[in-house]
Structure 1
Amino acid sequence: MNNNPIFVKILQIMSFRKIALFLFANILLVSCTAKQEINYMTDIDNMVLDNAIKNSRSTVQPGDQLIVNISARDMDAVKPFNQNYSSSTTLTQYSVPNSNSTIQQLPVSGPTYFVDTDYNIIFPQIGKINLQGENIEGVREKLNALLKAYIKDPIVDVKIVNFKVSVLGEVARPGQYVIPDGSTTLLSSLSLAGDSTPYGIRKNVLLIRNVDGQITHNRIDLTSANFINSPYYYLKQNDIIYVQPNTNREKAARVDPNLGLYISVSSVVASLVIGIISLTRN
């Protein structure tokens, strides 16, 4: 055996590096497999769901864009109420992802009405209509009642063109999503974004909401079904959902992204040194 002090020192360094790499790999393995709470609504079988349907529709807000299509048996009588609209004009909305996880586009067209800061729209032949406090169903019923003075058995179809929610943080596909029918739930919106990743904290999801200029925020525990009975189960226009990352993800974000490369290079260099020493001994 070679008793050269330098050779012995190099072997000691190599052994230390191997031990350090082994320990580091095990620490990473434990961190990645640490138990996380990833289940939703674990207590749903033990609670009564009493959420009212009236909470399922967002009320009209200033800046909303409404598409209103009027039809009836006598379409000539309807024409004055669908004026200033070209059938070649098409607005695009988005639906849920298809089986390939891509967002499908749905064409929606019709006369568009902008809700002003006083919650009014200007409607042909009728004039100013105030929609404050009304949801889409309420807008439909209000227009239907007004149109009966001019049209026999009118049919009113109303959609919010720009109803959107944002899903951010620890989800598969963070982004802003337009909801075609103007109604969505917290869980549905998370599914649009590909659901929370295993690193998301499901017990502390943040929901930011702006209604009539008032910004509110609320923390939601998705592991309990109690949130279904809250005002935050059905989302409102421009709601923002933020799924907070857990400590493992935060630690990983602080690690140099080139750490793996450094370790690989160090291993190669160590192997070369050992090889050179072996050749020298021979």
Structure 2
Amino acid sequence: MTANCTNSMSKKSITSKMKKSMLDMRKSIGFNFSIALILAFMLSSCYTSKGVDYLQSNQQTIILPLNKGEQYKIQPSDVLSIKVQSRDPEQTAFFNLTSIENRNFQANPASLFLSGYTVDPEGAINLAIVGELKVGGLNVDEIRDLVQVEIDKYLVNAAVTVQLTSFKVSVLGDVKNPGTNYIYNNQATIFEGLAAAGDLNLSAKRKKVKVIRQIGNESVVVNLDLTKPSIIKSPYYFLHPNDVIYVETSKPNIKQSNLGVLTLILSAITTTVLVLNFTTK
């Protein structure tokens, strides 16, 4: 009888020790996974300002010369907004396409594009009253001067304004809203083009942003470093119509994004271990 009791107590003791050992092991596993989870989270959310800030410099004030390069030359299919103004609106109305078509016309960038003068395949436009004008190969300022000379033949003290309304830029790659955007500013910079696309993502490679530009019959690809103030001196700092901006994703940040998946996996495992610990108590 005594021997049986001793054996029974011994078995219970062994069983109790095994359960305690298993609980300790599970707790240890849960603790280790929790630590790994915290570390993974810290790594996946680690972005330094050095990698994402634009125009980085230790100087408070930087003065750099702008390099606007050669002004854009008008090409076939471009759309121009031409407006003639003078003291007598009734006289200028005949030269303004929108005034003839709609007296209640409300000028805005989109409507100017839709109601502008489209350059034909021969590089010409047909201006009201004046007739055909060759504008292909000229920049906006040269076209304004050309139209001004023609308008002066009909009106006294009239002012002519010309704007390119078919200014579109495509932004692709690691940005918030990739796509094609129309920009109604003839002096738009690469930062304005990126802003129209919602700015770069944190994972974007800021030191090597590609700009693809059509020059004559050739396509030119250049790399720009947005973290350096010297970008302002680049002839590609100011955008041209039909430019394409491509933003790559940096390799380290690709790895960091993968850590996000690892974090979810570790979180699931840790939760499972904690549930097992709770159910076996």
TM-score by length of 1: 0.76
Residue identity opposite 1:72 in structure 2 = S
Counterpart in the other structure of 2:8: none
CA distance in structure 1 between the partners assigned to 2:113 and 2:213 by the alignment: 28
Counterpart in the other structure of 1:150: 154
Please say if residues 85 and 111 of structure 1, whose CA atoms lie closer than 8 Å, have aligned partners that are also in contact.
no
Cα shift readout 1:220-258 (whole Å, capped 9, x = no counterpart) = 01222222222101101122223322224323555685x
Secondary structure of the structure 2 residue equivalent to 1:244? strand
1:37 aligns with 2:51: yes
What is the deviation of 1:276? 2.3
Counterpart in the other structure of 1:268: 271
More relative contact order in 1 or in 2 (CA 8 Å, sep 6+)?
A: 2
Residue identity opposite 2:73 in structure 1 = T
What is the deviation of 1:152? 1.9
Counterparts of 1:79-98 in structure 2 under 5 Å? 79-83=93-97, 85-89=101-105, 92-93=108-109
Counterpart in the other structure of 2:203: 199
Cα shift readout 1:36-57 (whole Å, capped 9, x = no counterpart) = 42333335969873334565x5
Cα shift readout 1:92-144 (whole Å, capped 9, x = no counterpart) = 537xxxxxxxxxxxx64895210123322122233322223322222211110
What is the deviation of 1:13? 5.1
Residue identity opposite 2:160 in structure 1 = V
Residue identity opposite 1:32 in structure 2 = S
Counterparts of 1:102-251 in structure 2 under 5 Å? 108=112, 111-251=115-255
1:68 aligns with 2:71: no
Please say if residues 91 and 109 of structure 1, whose CA atoms lie closer than 8 Å, have aligned partners that are also in contact.
no
What is the deviation of 1:26? 0.7
CA distance in structure 2 between the partners assigned to 1:44 and 1:14 by the alignment: 50
CA distance in structure 2 between the partners assigned to 1:52 and 1:15 by the alignment: 63
What is the deviation of 1:274? 1.2
Secondary structure of the structure 1 residue equivalent to 2:25? helix
1:23 aligns with 2:36: yes
What is the deviation of 1:161? 2.2
Please say if residues 175 and 197 of structure 2, whose CA atoms lie closer than 8 Å, have aligned partners that are also in contact.
yes
Counterpart in the other structure of 2:6: none
Cα 1:62/1:251, change in 2 over 3 Å = farther
Please say if residues 202 and 222 of structure 1, whose CA atoms lie closer than 8 Å, have aligned partners that are also in contact.
yes
Counterpart in the other structure of 2:66: 51
CA distance in structure 2 between the partners assigned to 1:86 and 1:252 by the alignment: 56
% same residue: 24
Cα 1:116/1:73, change in 2 over 3 Å = same
Q: Which structure has more helix as a fraction of its residues? A: 2
CA distance in structure 1 between the partners assigned to 2:95 and 2:235 by the alignment: 36
Secondary structure of the structure 2 residue equivalent to 1:204? strand
TM-score by length of 2: 0.76
Gaps of 5+ in 2: 1-12
Residue identity opposite 2:64 in structure 1 = L
Please say if residues 56 and 228 of structure 2, whose CA atoms lie closer than 8 Å, have aligned partners that are also in contact.
yes
CA distance in structure 2 between the partners assigned to 1:44 and 1:217 by the alignment: 30
CA distance in structure 2 between the partners assigned to 1:267 and 1:111 by the alignment: 63
Secondary structure of the structure 1 residue equivalent to 2:84? strand
CA distance in structure 1 between the partners assigned to 2:91 and 2:55 by the alignment: 52
Cα 1:23/1:212, change in 2 over 3 Å = same
Q: CA-atom RMSD, angstroms?
A: 3.3
Please say if residues 90 and 108 of structure 1, whose CA atoms lie closer than 8 Å, have aligned partners that are also in contact.
no
What is the deviation of 1:14? 5.1
Gaps of 5+ in 1: 95-106
Cα 1:147/1:110, change in 2 over 3 Å = farther
Secondary structure of the structure 1 residue equivalent to 2:95? helix
CA distance in structure 1 between the partners assigned to 2:75 and 2:31 by the alignment: 63
What is the deviation of 1:64? 1.5
What is the deviation of 1:168? 3.5
